[in-house]
Amino acid sequence: MSGFRRIHTAAWIEHFTRRGYSDVRPLGSGAEGAIYRLGNGTVAKVWGGRREAELVRMQGFYADVARAGLPFATPVILGVEEVDGVAVTFEQELHGEPLQKRLAFEDAQLDPATVNCVVEVLRALATVPGTDTMREMPVLDEERPFWAGTHDFRTALVALLERRVARFGGVLRSHMPDFDRRYMGILEKLTDSITCRLRSSMETSSARTSWWTRNSGQCRYSTSDSCPRQAIPGWTRASPL
């Protein structure tokens, strides 16, 4: 995996030194970029593949998270610039120990303190209010926003899964013969949880539960008070439920 890491270079140390930072030191590196400690609580990250516009959007996302007043520090991007076609961010330095130091691939059991740490962080992040900036964020290597064309998380997640399977399904099937069964099982679990909407009918005094098949845009009705288990995106049912 070392070939995917962006390594530190003397050229970048010289660049930041010319910018007025007198004690530039390599701090860490990974698949996304290399980080340099600049001093005075500031670091610079030289990104490998992300573009300036994308990082400006990320800056807004981090700012919204920071405003939530969480009990731990989160990334704050102070500035974004492009140097010879390479995106660079200046950020507040985060202090602490990487969680990876407490975990190993060969571990048969997880350290309880590590598990508690992850759970507490996730619980705290779950309290952060959603914002318009957050809804504009893409995930993985995509350029389109994760929420594009959707109004709830599960629908957005199903749409993401469909895009990833359309792109990588062939490779996955070659290594996992029962991939389609597993994939449809995941879709069933996700769509089984999508909230049904009650619509008043002008023709009758009773309410009907409606659900939409995402690909066809057609509305199917059920006299049941719960969503049909078969309501999987991409499927349509011509027969009454």
Looking up tokens 């509305």, which residue turns up? 219
pLDDT digits (tens, 9 = 90+) for 96-107: 888 878 887 788
In terms of residue numbers, what domain contains 47? 2-92
Residues 230 and 147 in one domain: yes
Looking up tokens 């407490």, which residue turns up? 102
Rounded Cα–Cα distance for residues 34 and 28 (Å): 6
Q: Has residue 64 been placed in a domain?
A: yes
Residues 85 and 30 in one domain: yes
Q: Has residue 61 been placed in a domain?
A: yes
pLDDT digits (tens, 9 = 90+) for 184-239: 999 998 887 553 332 333 333 333 333 333 333 333 333 333 344 344 344 433 33
Give the CA distances from residue 215 to residues 84, 142, 231, 234, in Å, rounded to whole numbers and listed in that order: 43, 20, 12, 5
Rounded Cα–Cα distance for residues 4 and 205 (Å): 63
Tokens of 68: 């939530």
Residues 85 and 143 in one domain: no
Mean pLDDT calculated for residue range 74-83:
97
pLDDT digits (tens, 9 = 90+) for 41-77: 999 999 988 899 999 999 999 999 999 999 999 999 9
Does residue 241 register a pLDDT over 60?
no
Domain boundary among 34, 61, 92: 92
Count of domains in the chain? 2
Give the CA distances from residue 15 to residues 5, 22, 28, 55, 231, in Å, rounded to whole numbers and listed in that order: 20, 11, 17, 20, 56
Residues 72 and 143 in one domain: no
**Backbone phi, then psi, for 53, in 5-degree steps?**
-60, -40
What is the pLDDT of the chain when averaged over all its residues? 80
